Structure 1
């Protein structure tokens, strides 16, 4: 199956298939999706972390509408820090991703009216194949002792940073173990910021981008007990 943008992967994991409603921290999901767009650009060799800023090193489109729009705008703008980018991108990003998923038939837009005039939108799954593939990749990464691929490691790191472990649909005990494994994957990939990038399983340029975005997400969310 053709891979989909990381932002879409996070959203599909976070939304309940039947109710079509988001689960977990909405702020965490929005920040994670913002980071995911930038990570996709880093994976494609378009963005790099240089002297405290995320900078465009190649403005060639990658073929994903949302990422390409960000790329074009960023190429004309001054560089911003990872934290600044997260805040700049998160507004309306979820709506745009949902619109794309609806247009492709992955989810459907159910418009309901409450109290006679309030419109509430739900997005139940219509094509479960995409989410099934994502969950399969993550299940293999969580249960394997070896290293996973660059993209899956990035997804695991974003899940950990945004505290989206509940989206994995695990028991409390299993979720705790999953968190530990997600942290191991992040560290092994050099995404935690604590590893020597020479020992990273991914490209150092990508590791720097993911590590700095992960830290920016954690700083934005603050203490887990207060979120």
Structure 2
């Protein structure tokens, strides 16, 4: 199985056992764009300077999705905010990530129709049970939230990502809300990465919150 990253883990957490996206398309797309930036930040490839995203190291990571994003950021004509990049990178990314999970044998693609009329594609687990990689991600996050020990950078970033998307309420729904909120705040403020990386992660998380909130307002206004 190829190396999976935060984009794959986010998709697995967002889709239920029936293979349906429960996070919502706009939110998941924004989250996936943010997940790419978080991975690049953790790898030391990007940083935030004066509110703009910049490439700190152009060396390829070896992961196609990350390297494609890195090239786009490096060759952009002018510096842009993290919020701009999560929107740009999120377009069409969900389909790419799902394709990779299907190719890796984690999910399967099921094409069908709702009420025999409207086309719908679902992405349930290949085995019918929760994918092992999703279970592992959930266990890492749960251990981090229920203990006071050190948290590895990728798990800390994944927890922050789910918090920015309000997905943590579903991931930790069986745990006391006060405990989860306190521990997530501690993890966010913890010394789990370099100052530059933490700043890039925090900026990306705030950008996700802003982008998803804006999308929700636009959707509400359009419907009204």
- Alpha-carbon distance in structure 1 between the residues aligned to 2:25 and 2:178: 21
Q: TM-score, normalised by structure 2?
A: 0.86
The residue number in structure 2 matching 1:203 is: 194
Q: Confirm or deny: 8 A CA contact 1:160 1:179 kept in the other structure.
A: no
Counterpart position of 2:15: 15
- TM-score, normalised relative to structure 1: 0.85
Alignment correspondent of 2:68: 69
Indicate conservation of the 8 Å contact 1:138/1:156, yes or no: yes
- 2:143 corresponds to which of 125, 140, 143: 140
Q: Distance in 2 between matches of 1:137 and 1:178?
A: 14
Aligned Cα RMSD in Å? 2.3
- Secondary structure of 1:54's aligned partner: strand
- Secondary structure at the counterpart of residue 222 of structure 1: helix
In structure 2, what is the equivalent of residue 52 of structure 1? 51
Residue in 2 aligned with 1:152?
155
Q: 1:152, CA displacement in angstroms?
A: 0.7
In structure 1, stretches of 5+ residues that fail to align are: 189-199
Q: In the TM superposition, what are the counterparts of 1:1-227 in structure 2 within 5 Å?
A: 4-17=4-17, 19-77=18-76, 78-126=78-126, 128-168=131-171, 170-171=173-174, 174-188=176-190, 200-222=191-213
CA contact (8 A) 1:109 1:123 kept: yes
Task: Provide structure 2 residue ranges, at least 5 long, that are not aligned to the other structure.
Answer: none
- Aligned partners of 2:152, 2:172: CA distance in 1, in Å? 22
In structure 2, the CA distance between the partners of 1:82 and 1:131, relative to structure 1 (3 Å rule), is same
Q: What is the CA-CA distance between 1:24 and the residue it aligns to?
A: 3.0
Does the 8 Å contact 2:159/2:168 carry over to 1? Answer: no
Aligned pair count reads: 213
